[in-house]
A and B are shown apart, each in its own frame.
Chain A
């Protein structure tokens, strides 16, 4: 469908979704959030998932991130199939293999920026790799604000702390849910630059759910969802190509 401009070496999928269906309710009230979705999320790639409200993009991300389970179908993180895992294994998977960035930052208010960043490692009772920690800190660019509590940081700084937290455990894949949704455009740009550079610099796999065509333009690949199905995909998007697809997507409804 879309031609592949750059043959990426790390095209091995970091996560795979096969025939994933998710329904809520039953009978007449049955709502299908995901309808037989199959998708590969390549390692070392920055993917955006877009779609109108109710298209199922958040549900898809939650299922991939081991926060939610589908009604049928399979989800793999690396070689691990999630639907068969118990809570304990899922917790460990989240801790070791997955990073999160939320729209509303979600930092622990009682901990300093540094403590928030190392939290996943601390929970696992692992010491942060000093070199990696330094390089993450350097990338995030917080410098002297590491010993501040979240309420002493600006929104952009808080989100950068959240990203550092997601990166510090070197997860296989990072999920970001509207990471710029609560930020002004300048802070948002900084956050997206940071995500982009961690893909380019550290070959980090990132999946981001967003509404914003500008944010989507930072990615390698945009997957469009509508009514629970993957309807389109754009490689190496820019703002215009994304807007174009969005326009065609709303067209059939208008017709």
Chain B
């Protein structure tokens, strides 16, 4: 008996846990993202501390990493100038270059896309606060053109050891280097290159390679004597600096670097928090459902309590207490899972080169407070409705046979739901079609309101669907189908609440699918309409490459013209803005610029063209001046022409190559568009041969280029599937839970059906049909809402260059198909349970 009692208790616990699972997941995402971002922000500054000196002397504005090291440099004479400064222990000149990559034996770039490839002159200068910076752990310092030092991790990843010849590709004129690896460097006191690769030569070689042989540095490190603070030293150094050069403390530089990386990672935290939100909303639905069923099952017991004199409030309180326990339990498990999640993210980041394994996880008090608060509040709020309803059970019902729970009127729910939907649509429209502040919040709140409204109205809304599926099942599958259909109609609130979990997930997935598909279609359309060349040459990393490549390709027989496009980052009106540059002839040729104002003929060095939309935005016309800040240098360019927005060019400000050169940007291209007389594989081969030993530069035809442009969107689509997977998972749990509870509730009926001759297989089929009906209902509602959201969103984005609205019906069809599978899977356990029910005891229960 005791064992039986324990078993039933465990059974119920498992069931309750099942319903809290979504809460557990939600809390886990919250806790995981909080722990991870706390860990990051605490450790980042530390990570960067050993990569900067006490005081950094650099050309003004060189801190803007978007453009890489500036072509503007610090003359070597400044080093001598600063040596006598009081408090300065030593002064070292650094030459740093980005876009220098190590290639492994299989012609693959180490580090792949993303982390930068850094090259520099070897220096044993200590980092700030007396920390040892990079130091040689094996071998010797590099000397002369033929020797190089790599950081340990890069050498490991590339498979090079001391004495090997290392293949290095650069964006400079000498594109490929082949020096001998003479030493390996590592951070002696902790520190990380965050996945970047590091290559070091001796100073003269670096200058020859990257500064055109001039005796200049990209920056200087000034090391403080003991007892001299970074600020004191900075102030002392600043007095001796020539015009255009600034001194910054190492701490400030470390913060600058750290915050730029942190910003990139915020995206991940946002993503996790969105997941958390979805889980919690869906979880709330499951909890409402579970508690409704549990309370219904215990209604006789609760009525008895009322008959024995318990007040309504006491009954409510007893149910709420149960939900509190559940909330605490769910939050605790969620918190634990969140820590695991944070560790997992740390691991994944380590794979991508951001090694945080030395950093302990940071548990801020707010992580605990937020996790428990969210978990408990959501659980208890969700349990409140069924708890209140349970208190309305009349005491006299303890004496009756059939107890029905008092339910809120479906009509009232329906009307309330419709009001919520209307309000949600209003908020959605406000967020999407007006320029209200924080439009994103309006959109989010609108979507949530519509989802909740539909969920609330769906017991009435879904009745036609449920009736139809009942008829269909009865027609096709006879009595078993009829029973299943009737079961799903029996308690439409329960059926639709269960389906809502799937509805929410699928609505979001379908929305994203439409946005992704439309974006892809827009990209294709744009490229088809605007792409006039035959081949595109670009750098895998989106970084620049030597202008010689373009020269060599232009000299090939069969290649007509080579259009160059260069990019630079500037500030316009205080906002960051990309600026593109090409030859004038290319604008009308391969790049296909259509002028709507002014004339291309007027484009000369020191003038710019603006896209029509951007000109509108700034309120500028031909003849006005555009003020641009390049690397802290304010420049003014007259606007000589307005062109129709051209997506191939990417940036709305275009100028000549010489303009950028004058503004201090190196003679390097970001993109080449080749026009050839006749496209042929042989010609493509010859073009590719030019960059054969430069694996970072690739040649693509129109189709491949379009493919590449679609890449980021494909990543988005991948995220959709992660979202969908999560939604399906939670929905399966919800359906399992509801079905299992329903079957327990209908034990006697199941026994009766078995007694009158329903076979186990038929019984399993009945449960499965019911499950599939629930899943398909959720999928249909979700898809309809998703298509609605998606199209609304795409309408709002029409002005942003995403003109094509494309609904991926095949994908949405696949969602529906998957929902059938979900229904079948979710039914497996409850169906088996029902089939295993002992007929006799099922009938005997009184």
Q: Which of B83-91, B237-245, B757-765 lines the interface with chain A?
A: B757-765
Q: Looking across the interface, which residue of chain B has its beta carbon closest to that of A175?
A: B755
Question: Would you list which residues of chain A between 96 and 141 have a CB under 8 Å from chain B?
Answer: 96, 100, 102, 104, 106-111, 115, 119-120, 122-125
Q: Which of A45-53, A85-93, A243-251 lines the interface with chain B?
A: A85-93
With A122-B478, A125-B479 as given contacts, are A95 and B757 in contact (CB-CB < 8 Å)?
yes
The yes or no answer to A235 lying at the interface (CB within 8 A) is no
Question: C-beta contact mask, B831-846 vs A, less than 8 Å → 1, else 0?
Answer: 0000000011001001
CB of B422, distance to nearest CB on chain A (Å): 34
Q: Is the CB of A94 within 8 A of B487?
A: no
Alpha-carbon distance A104/B748, docked complex (angstroms): 10
Q: Is the CB of A91 within 8 A of B758?
A: yes
Cβ 8 A contact of B752, one of A91, A106, A124, A151: A106
The yes or no answer to B754 lying at the interface (CB within 8 A) is yes
Q: Is the CB of A110 within 8 A of B757?
A: no
Q: Is the CB of B840 within 8 A of A68?
A: yes
Q: Is the CB of A119 within 8 A of B840?
A: no
Question: Would you list which residues of chain B between 804 and 846 have a CB under 8 Å from chain A?
Answer: 839-840, 843, 846
Specify which chain A residues have a CB less than 8 angstroms from the CB of B757 in the assembled complex: 91-92, 94-96, 120, 123-124
The yes or no answer to B351 lying at the interface (CB within 8 A) is no
Question: Would you list which residues of chain B between 722 and 761 have a CB under 8 Å from chain A?
Answer: 748-749, 752-760
Alpha-carbon distance A151/B483, docked complex (angstroms): 17
Cβ 8 A contact of B483, one of A65, A107, A110: A110
CB of A68, distance to nearest CB on chain B (Å): 5
Specify which chain B residues have a CB less than 8 angstroms from the CB of A122 in the assembled complex: 478-479, 482
Specify which chain A residues have a CB less than 8 angstroms from the CB of B480 in the assembled complex: 123
Specify which chain B residues have a CB less than 8 angstroms from the CB of A87 in the assembled complex: 760
Question: C-beta contact mask, A69-89 vs B, less than 8 Å → 1, else 0?
Answer: 000000000000000000110
Q: Looking across the interface, which residue of chain B has its beta carbon closest to that of A124?
A: B757
Specify which chain A residues have a CB less than 8 angstroms from the CB of B756 in the assembled complex: 94-95, 100, 119-120, 123, 165
The yes or no answer to A62 lying at the interface (CB within 8 A) is yes
Specify which chain A residues have a CB less than 8 angstroms from the CB of B483 in the assembled complex: 108, 110-111
How big is chain B's contact interface, by range? 20 to 34
Alpha-carbon distance A100/B758, docked complex (angstroms): 13
The yes or no answer to A67 lying at the interface (CB within 8 A) is yes
The yes or no answer to B486 lying at the interface (CB within 8 A) is yes
Q: Is the CB of B490 within 8 A of A123?
A: no
The yes or no answer to B489 lying at the interface (CB within 8 A) is yes
Alpha-carbon distance A243/B495, docked complex (angstroms): 53
CB of B834, distance to nearest CB on chain A (Å): 14
CB of A254, distance to nearest CB on chain B (Å): 30
Q: Is the CB of A108 within 8 A of B753?
A: yes
Q: Is the CB of A123 within 8 A of B749?
A: no
Alpha-carbon distance A62/B843, docked complex (angstroms): 11
CB of B270, distance to nearest CB on chain A (Å): 47
Q: Is the CB of A110 within 8 A of B490?
A: yes
Cβ 8 A contact of A102, one of B490, B752, B753, B754: B752
Q: How many A-B residue pairs have CB under 8 A?
A: 72
Interface size on A, residues (CB 8 A): 29
Q: Is the CB of A62 within 8 A of B840?
A: yes
CB of B420, distance to nearest CB on chain A (Å): 30
Alpha-carbon distance A100/B748, docked complex (angstroms): 14
Alpha-carbon distance A87/B762, docked complex (angstroms): 13
Specify which chain B residues have a CB less than 8 angstroms from the CB of A95 in the assembled complex: 756-758
CB of B833, distance to nearest CB on chain A (Å): 16
Question: Would you list which residues of chain B between 469 and 511 have a CB under 8 Å from chain A?
Answer: 478-480, 482-483, 486-487, 489-490
Q: Is the CB of B843 within 8 A of A102?
A: yes
With A67-B755, A110-B490 as given contacts, are A125 and B843 in contact (CB-CB < 8 Å)?
no
CB of B689, distance to nearest CB on chain A (Å): 73
Q: Is the CB of A106 within 8 A of B762?
A: no
Cβ 8 A contact of B748, one of A96, A106, A115, A125: A106
Alpha-carbon distance A166/B757, docked complex (angstroms): 11
Q: Is the CB of B760 within 8 A of A91?
A: yes
Specify which chain B residues have a CB less than 8 angstroms from the CB of A108 in the assembled complex: 483, 486, 749, 752-753
Max chain A Cβ within 10 angstroms of own Cβ: one of B402, B479, B487, B748 = B479
Q: Looking across the interface, which residue of chain A has its beta carbon closest to that of B487?
A: A110
Alpha-carbon distance A62/B489, docked complex (angstroms): 33
Specify which chain A residues have a CB less than 8 angstroms from the CB of B486 in the assembled complex: 108, 110-111
Q: Is the CB of A123 within 8 A of B758?
A: yes
Specify which chain B residues have a CB less than 8 angstroms from the CB of A100 in the assembled complex: 755-756
CB of B397, distance to nearest CB on chain A (Å): 15
Alpha-carbon distance A88/B754, docked complex (angstroms): 11
CB of A182, distance to nearest CB on chain B (Å): 9
CB of B297, distance to nearest CB on chain A (Å): 16
Cβ 8 A contact of B759, one of A62, A91, A115: A91
Q: Is the CB of A91 within 8 A of B479?
A: no
Alpha-carbon distance A30/B759, docked complex (angstroms): 32
With A88-B759, A106-B748, A108-B753 as given contacts, are A125 and B846 in contact (CB-CB < 8 Å)?
no
Specify which chain B residues have a CB less than 8 angstroms from the CB of A107 in the assembled complex: 752
CB of B752, distance to nearest CB on chain A (Å): 4
Alpha-carbon distance A100/B756, docked complex (angstroms): 7
Alpha-carbon distance A62/B751, docked complex (angstroms): 13
Q: Is the CB of B490 within 8 A of A67?
A: no
Q: Looking across the interface, which residue of chain B has its beta carbon closest to that of A108?
A: B749
Cβ 8 A contact of A110, one of B402, B489, B748, B758: B489
Question: C-beta contact mask, B157-201 vs A, less than 8 Å → 1, else 0?
Answer: 000000000000000000000000000000000000000000000
Specify which chain A residues have a CB less than 8 angstroms from the CB of B479 in the assembled complex: 119, 122-123, 125
Alpha-carbon distance A198/B748, docked complex (angstroms): 27
Cβ 8 A contact of B749, one of A67, A109, A115, A125: A109
Specify which chain A residues have a CB less than 8 angstroms from the CB of B754 in the assembled complex: 91, 94
Q: Is the CB of B843 within 8 A of A67?
A: yes
Specify which chain B residues have a CB less than 8 angstroms from the CB of A125 in the assembled complex: 478-479
Q: Is the CB of B755 within 8 A of A123?
A: no
CB of A174, distance to nearest CB on chain B (Å): 12
Max chain B Cβ within 10 angstroms of own Cβ: one of A87, A100, A110, A125 = A110
Q: Looking across the interface, which residue of chain A has its beta carbon closest to that of B470?
A: A110
Alpha-carbon distance A115/B485, docked complex (angstroms): 14
CB of A80, distance to nearest CB on chain B (Å): 15
Question: C-beta contact mask, B756-790 vs A, less than 8 Å → 1, else 0?
Answer: 11111010000000000000000000000000000
Alpha-carbon distance A103/B734, docked complex (angstroms): 35
With A108-B483, A111-B483 as given contacts, are A67 and B840 in contact (CB-CB < 8 Å)?
yes
Alpha-carbon distance A119/B753, docked complex (angstroms): 9
Q: Looking across the interface, which residue of chain A has its beta carbon closest to that of B477?
A: A125
Q: Looking across the interface, which residue of chain A has its beta carbon closest to that of B751?
A: A106
Alpha-carbon distance A102/B843, docked complex (angstroms): 9
Q: Looking across the interface, which residue of chain B has its beta carbon closest to that of A110?
A: B486
Q: Is the CB of B839 within 8 A of A67?
A: yes
Q: Is the CB of B762 within 8 A of A123?
A: yes
Q: Looking across the interface, which residue of chain B has its beta carbon closest to that of A93?
A: B757
Q: Looking across the interface, which residue of chain B has its beta carbon closest to that of A67?
A: B840
Q: Is the CB of B846 within 8 A of A104?
A: yes
Alpha-carbon distance A115/B487, docked complex (angstroms): 14
CB of B453, distance to nearest CB on chain A (Å): 29
Question: Would you list which residues of chain A between 17 and 61 have a CB under 8 Å from chain B?
Answer: none
Specify which chain A residues have a CB less than 8 angstroms from the CB of B762 in the assembled complex: 123
Q: Looking across the interface, which residue of chain A has its beta carbon closest to that of B753?
A: A108
Alpha-carbon distance A125/B762, docked complex (angstroms): 11
Question: Would you list which residues of chain A between 135 and 179 have a CB under 8 Å from chain B?
Answer: 151, 165
Max chain A Cβ within 10 angstroms of own Cβ: one of B480, B487, B489, B754 = B754
* 11 contacting pairs across A/B (C-beta < 8 A): A67-B840, A68-B840, A94-B754, A96-B757, A106-B748, A110-B486, A110-B490, A111-B486, A120-B756, A123-B756, A165-B756
By Cβ-Cβ distance, the 8 closest A-B pairs, closest first, are A95-B757, A122-B479, A110-B486, A106-B752, A91-B759, A120-B756, A67-B840, A94-B757
Extra inter-chain contacts (10) besides given A108-B486, A110-B487, A111-B482, CB under 8 Å = A65-B755, A68-B840, A94-B756, A95-B756, A100-B755, A108-B753, A120-B756, A120-B757, A122-B482, A124-B757
Q: Which residues of A contact B (CB under 8 A)?
A: 62, 65, 67-68, 87-88, 91-92, 94-96, 100, 102, 104, 106-111, 115, 119-120, 122-125, 151, 165
